Chain A
Amino acid sequence: MAKVPVQFTLNGSERAEFVESGATLLTTLRDRMGDTSPKGGCHQGTCGACTVMVDGELRLSCLTLAETCEGADVRTTAGLANGEVLTPVQRAFEDAFAAQCGFCTPGMIMAATALLERNPKPDRAEVIEAISGNVCRCTGYEPIIRAVLSAARANSTSAA
């Protein structure tokens, strides 16, 4: 089958690739563009490990066709840190030991980042709601919830 060209911005850089028609954004990012930060957990849109942002909105990259991202602004966990400087969410995950095996972590961090971008001061219930599309097998979620709340506090302190 003929390949199709796709072109979009990935973490601030213009990227172009030829992909199989029907290729998902997840396989395009991982296998074509070398960004392995989104993880393939269930490949059916249930686990959230592949979560990325497309034009500022959370998307499950395993259910998103690469062709639909033409011209879009795609952000992944790999593009969050400024060199060695982590974002408040990433720092909070590190400080709170909010990862064990780490497979869910990129998706959790994208979900948390999107939450804090639209709601800088979420309460516990809002944090739970925001990560409810992301499955974690190790932590029991509590350290993740604490990390997001602590990132929110760090945000409000630095803004003040």
Chain B
Amino acid sequence: MALYSEKVMDHFRNPRNVGIIENADGIGEVGNARCGDIMKIYLKVDNDIITDIKFETFGCGSAIASSSMATELIKGKSVHEAMRLTNKAVVEALDGLPSHKVHCSVLAEEAIQAALKDYFTKKGLPFLTMPMTHRADCSCHEC
């Protein structure tokens, strides 16, 4: 069996929403280059709806695919719906990830949360859902 599902390879080869948003309403960056993954998410929000979303990722195939899928899952949704995005939803939408790559989906969830937090902070609103930093199903150094 191949390392990655067709879905993962599709999102890796043809990532959706790659790029930068100038004057974004929220920006989140997680990970570090030392561990080999960094994700940066840019949000444009209008009336609590995520009207545009872009990402940049330094990382492996599944990190790029996870970022791409995560942005697809919340584009057009309200910020409140977006806050409920879990890494599990990203993994499921990608038709699964190898166990040592689940870390990438966690990073995608955290990047979205970080961007949302930035958005709420900029608006002077409280951010209640704190990003989780410990995952039973993640094997990275950080968790």
A binds B: no
Residues of B within 8 A of A (CB): none
Residues of A within 8 A of B (CB): none
